[in-house]
Chain A
Amino acid sequence: MTVLRVDCDRGLALCADEDGSRASVETALVDPVASGDVLLVHAGTALTRLVERWEAPAA
C-alpha cells in the first residue's frame, strides 16, 4: 500500500492499495514512513517498506 498521510502521534498512516481503497495502517514495526512510501501491509500492520534491492529476473 502507498502512504498518503502519516499520524506520528498515534503511530498510524493512511494508506491506499492498488485499487485505491484506503485504510489506517499501524506503523510500529517499520522505520518512520513518509508520503509516497510503499509498504507491505498484513492485517492492518506494515511489516516492511519496499525498497529497490531486487534482482531482475534472470533471462
Chain B
Amino acid sequence: MKFVDEFRDAELGRAVAVEILSRVEPGRHYKLMEVCGGHTHSIYKYGIDDLLPANVELVHGPGCPVCVIPMGRVDDGIAIAHHDGVIFTCFGDMMRVPGSSGSLLDAKAAGADIRMVYSPLDALRIAKQNPDREVVFFAIGFETTAPSTALTLRRARAERLPNFSVMCSHVTIVPPLRALLESPDLRLDGFIGPGHVSTVVGARPFQFIPADYGKPVVIAGFEPLDILQAIAMILRQLADGRSEVENQYKRVVPYEGNLRALEVMAEVFELRPHFEWRGLGFISHSGLKLSEAYADLDAEARFRVPGVRVADPKACQCGEVLKGVIKPWECKVFGTACTPERPIGTCMVSSEGACAAYYNFGRFAREREVV
C-alpha cells in the first residue's frame, strides 16, 4: 500500500540501523522517550529495539489515551450509564478500563446500555435514531481525537439535537511532557515526537523542549523505518551538539498543524484548571472541557456524577510505566495477575499501552533470551 510499503523495507531498515550504530558513543547511555502509544505499539510489533545498540534505550511515555484515564473518571462514566434512559457510548478500548468496581463492560453485562462506537459521529447517529433516549459520548484522547469530538458537537448544535451530550476527558500532550522533564527521577536524552498529535498541533508546541531543556525532538511516523530514522536523527543531533525540533514525518505533519482543527477545538473546548492523569497525578491546564458556548451539551452538567478521586490498586505500577521509570515486565503483576484478558492497570488494556504491546509482542523475544 502506498505510504506504507516504502517504510517497511527491510534492507533500508538494516542500513538505518547501521547508521544508528555509527552515531553512538561507546560508554554513553542514551535514553529516548516516545510519547505516543502508536509508537510504543510499533516498537514492539516490529522489534525495533532489537535493532538498536545496547546503550540506546527506548522509554515509553504517557502517550496512550486510554492508559492515562484515572479510575475516578471510569466510575463517573459508569454512573452516567446507569441513569434511566441513557445510552452511553465510547471507544472499544475504553470499555475494558477498570474503575473502582469494574469496567464499562462489566456495567454493560449488569444491564446498562453501553455501546461501542468507532467515532463520535456514530454516537450522534444513535442519538438521532433514539430521540426518546439520552445519548452520551465518553470523549477521550489527545489532540488527535479532540477535533472529531469538536466537529460532532458543532453538528449536534447545528442540528439542534436535544438528547446528545459529551463527557469530555480529552487531554493535551504538552503539559505532561513538561511534567516529565521536571521530574527528578527521569533523565532523558531526547524525544520521539508524537506524529499524529503533531498533525493537529504542528511542530511549534514542542519548541520549549530544546529551548528550555536542551533536548532534541524528532516528530516521527509509525512505520518501522519512520521510527528508526527518527532515532538516527536524534542521535545525529546529540552527536552534533544540537537540540532542535525536527520533522521526520513530513508526508503527514505540516509545521503549523491543521489550522481548521485548531479553530474548531478553540471554539468548542477550553482548558480545565487541572486534570488528573493516571499515575501522574493532577497536571495544570492539561485537560479539556466544553466551552461556555457548548456547556449545555456537557454530560457532567446534565447528569450527576460522583467525581471522586480513586487511588490505583496498590499492586498496579502503571504510574511508573507511564513515566518510563520502570519497564512493563518490571511491574509486580505483569503477565501474571495482569494480562490483556484480565487487566488490572490501563497500560495492559489498550493495544497502544506499553504493557499490552510488550505482552503481545516483546515478551516472546525476552523468553527466547532467557532460554
Contacts and interface: CB of A to CB of B under 8 A. Distances in A.
Interface string B13-37: 0011001000000000000000000
B122 interface: yes
| Chain A interface SS verdict (over half) | loop
Given A42-B144, A47-B196, A26 B251 contact: no
B119 A43 contact: yes
Contacts of A54: 249-251
Contacts of B100: none
B173 to A, nearest CB: 14
Contacts of B48: none
B145 A42 contact: yes
A43 B122 CA distance: 10
Contacts, number: 90
Contacts of A40: 196, 199, 252
A50 B251 contact: yes
Interface string B196-217: 1001100000000000000000
Of B4, B248, B251, B258, chain A has the most CB atoms within 10 Å of the CB of: B251
A47 B199 contact: yes
A59 B196 CA distance: 25
A23 to B, nearest CB: 7
Interface in A13-59: 18, 23-24, 26, 28-30, 38, 40, 42-45, 47-48, 50-55, 57-59
Interface string B338-358: 000000000000000000000
A3 B118 CA distance: 18
A47 B146 CA distance: 11
B126 to A, nearest CB: 13
Interface in B241-266: 248-254, 258, 260-261, 264
B148 A45 contact: yes
By secondary structure, the B interface counts as: helix
B340 to A, nearest CB: 21
Contacts of B251: 50-54
A47 B122 contact: no
B147 interface: yes
A29 B16 contact: no
A57 B122 CA distance: 38
Nearest to B11: A59
B225 interface: yes
Interface size class of A (residues with CB under 8 A): 20 to 34
Contacts of B4: 18
Contacts of B12: 57, 59
A44 B252 contact: no
B38 to A, nearest CB: 10
B1 interface: yes
Interface of A: 18, 23-24, 26, 28-30, 38, 40, 42-45, 47-48, 50-55, 57-59
14 contacts: A28-B151, A42-B148, A43-B120, A43-B149, A45-B119, A47-B196, A47-B200, A47-B258, A48-B199, A48-B253, A53-B251, A54-B250, A55-B250, A59-B15
Interface of B: 1-4, 7, 12, 15-16, 19, 91, 118-122, 141, 144-145, 147-149, 151, 196, 199-200, 225-226, 228-229, 232, 248-254, 258, 260-261, 264
Given A38-B2, A58-B16, A58-B232, 19 more contacts: A18-B4, A26-B121, A28-B264, A40-B196, A40-B252, A42-B147, A42-B196, A43-B145, A44-B120, A47-B144, A47-B261, A48-B254, A53-B251, A55-B250, A57-B16, A58-B19, A59-B12, A59-B15, A59-B19
